[in-house]
Every structure is written in C-alpha cells, then in structure tokens.
Amino acid sequence: MYLCMLWLLAACDRPNPKVTLEAIFSKQYENKMISSGQNFPDFYVEDDSLDLFLIALHEQIPVNKFQRKVGWNDETLNAHITFLKSKDWLVPGDVLKPSIFIASQADGEALYTHSTPIALQISRAIEENLYSIEKAYQNTALSKTQDFESMAFFILSDVLLDNWQINAVEREFLKAETRPERHDNHYYYAIMEHSSAPKEAFGIYGNQYRKVNDSLSLSIYGNNRNVANAKLRNDPEFLEHLLGSAPRLSTDDQKEMGDIAALFKPVLLDVLEDHREYIQHVYQTSGYAEDISFEEFFIWWYHFIYTQTTNMLDEAGTLTIPEAGNFYYFSVR
C-alpha cells in the first residue's frame, strides 16, 4: 500500500509560497479546539495579535519583521514569548515554533491531496459494510421515527467517523491516553485560514452544542455552523421550527449510536493501520514534524480525511449532505 502511494509524496513538502506579512494580516482565520469538560485555554489568542504571531512563526517570517509590523518593543515581544511558552503554545527550546496546529490555505489543500488514498479506502469500506450498518440502525428505537436515508449523513459521517469515533482514533490508533497538556489543561488547538466563507475553514465537518434547557441540548453537525448560529440568534422561530422537526436522541439512542460506531471501529482502525507508514511519512515530510507532535498533527489531519470521505460518499449517492450543510438534532438527558 505504501509503495503505491509514493506518487503523492512528490508534492508532500510543506508548501512554501512567498507568504508576505501583509498577506497574513489580510486573511481571515478560524480557531478550532478538541476538548472536553473544563479543558480549554484560559486566554484569548486573538488578543494583541498573538494568533498572527503564531501564524507568522509557522510561515517562518522573521520575528523582528513581525515585531516592526505590530510595533512591539523588545520588552513586549519577550513578554509575549514568555507568556506563550508558559501556556505551552510554543515548543520548548530557543527556536520559536508553535506547538499547536496551524494550516494556511496551501497547507490545507496539500492535506486534502494527501488524504485521498485514505479517504477513498474508508469510503469503500463504508459502502461494503453499508448493509450491516443499515441493518444495525433498523434495530434501534430511533429508526421507528427516522428513516435511514434521512439520517445517513449523520450516521455515516458523524457517528461512524467523528463524534462517536474520535476517542477510538485517539486511544487505539494514536495510543494517546490524554490530550496534550497545556497549562494544566488537556486539549488540541488549531488556527486555520478561512477562505471558504460562509462555510467553515476548509469545509471541515464538526459538532457544536448549545443548551436549550436543563434537559435538552441542540446539536449541529456540519460545516456551515456559523450561518446556523446567526440564524438561531436572529430568528427565534427557527429554534421553534427545529424543536418540532429535528430528531431527539435520548441517552439510550446515543448509546445505540455508539454501538453502531463500535461495529465499524475495527474496520476504520484497520484502514488507518494499513496507512500508518504513509501517514508517518506525510508527517515527516510536510514540515509539521518540526513543530508539533504526531498526535497533534494527525488528529487535525483526520478531520480533513473524514471530511473528504463524507464528500466522496455524497458524490457516490451513498448519503446526501443537507443543502445548508448542517444536520440538527437534540440530545435529551
């Protein structure tokens, strides 16, 4: 498998276009985090251009050039560096490199290119196991009110690959018992260039939750959640519409979704294991190995992989991505 993929690695070095400081300041960025509970940053990285500083370091812009651009004196620069190191957002040592995942447009496009063989094999595996997946769904209580076709995007993408599967990828493929420790918290963090508005950065699918009341939370799975949130803020009737139309998953329903994910877990892990040497090679040759851990790199690259898998399944007609890019459901306690 590895040898037949070497053609992809010809362009595997991190893209190194002539990125100017002016270009960095002119672009839009989106911050993403993988965490649970109270594990999150205790500061705003956007404050005083710290996020742009990290992006500039990722793009190997000379520090003194950035310093002049933002008007930091030496004392301010050193204070910011000390602060970011104290938060474990810079790698240890004298060389200034971000320890979080940063992706420019060129980085993201390269990662999608390198995702192709993995996403293709995962999508084929889902199609080969589609009968057993659908049969397992038909045995759930949720299937009595929601047919498989209307739930396919949610089940084949969110359940099989993302929200119900991400812990298995972390623990059983990455062998990571905990997420990276940062100032006594554990979380993954990313800053990604955002040039795909209104959709989210690189069109990556993900989950978002908002509490409705003590027993009900609205979940949004998709890549257009910013638009959804704006609609929820500005149109009170939209929530009322969802309350009357979106599926409601009880605790038992959510457990049954976990059982479906567990059926596909060994298949997914086998695909990733088949590509481990290739994945390691991409990590080493992309330039990310010089900045961040393998775990930090892959967990974000995996989001590109399952997004591309989802899009392949949509193109094949195996699932249908909602026109607005989002699937809504409620979690009931």
The dihedrals phi and psi of 188, each to the nearest 5 degrees, come to: -100, 145
Does the pLDDT at position 8 exceed 80?
no
Q: What is the mean pLDDT of residues 296-323?
A: 97
DSSP classification of residue 17? -
Reduced to 3 states, what is the DSSP secondary structure of residue 11? helix
Band (pLDDT 50/70/90 cuts) for residue 249 is: very high
Q: Are 189 and 33 in contact (CB under 8 A)?
A: yes
Closest CA to 56 of 8, 93, 22, 107: 22
Helix ranges (H only) for 169-293 are 225-234, 236-245, 251-274, 276-285
The residues pairing with 222 across neighbouring beta strands, listed in sequence order, are: 206, 326
In the chain, the amino acid numbered 27 is: K
Neighbours of 104 (CB within 10 A): 23
Radius of gyration for the chain, computed over Cα atoms and rounded to the nearest angstrom: 21
DSSP classification of residue 185? E
The dihedrals phi and psi of 59, each to the nearest 5 degrees, come to: -85, 5
Report the sign of the C-alpha dihedral through residues 167, 169, 174, 180, in that order. negative
Residue identified by tokens 């070095």 is 13
Closest CA to 149 of 278, 325, 318: 318
The residues pairing with 189 across neighbouring beta strands, listed in sequence order, are: 33
pLDDT tens digits along 77-110: 999 999 999 999 999 888 899 999 999 999 999 9
Q: What percent of the chain has pLDDT over 90?
A: 83
Report the sign of the C-alpha dihedral through residues 190, 112, 17, 299, in that order. positive
pLDDT at 18: 61
| pTM of the full structure | 0.92
Longest dimension (CA), the chain: 65
Using CA atoms, how far residue 28 sits from 20, 31, 180, in Å, is: 15, 10, 26
pLDDT at 39: 80
Closest CA to 254 of 309, 209, 318, 310: 209
CA distance 47 to 88: 17
pLDDT at 24: 95
**What are the structure tokens assigned to 108, written together?**
């993201």
Does the pLDDT at position 187 exceed 60?
yes
pLDDT tens digits along 10-67: 333 444 446 789 999 999 999 999 887 778 788 999 999 999 999 999 999 999 999 9
Reduced to 3 states, what is the DSSP secondary structure of residue 44? coil
Task: Give the 3-state DSSP-derived string for 127-171, with helices as H, strands as E and coil as C.
Answer: HHCHHHHHHHHHCCCHHHCCCHHHHHHHHHHHHHHCCCCHHHHHH
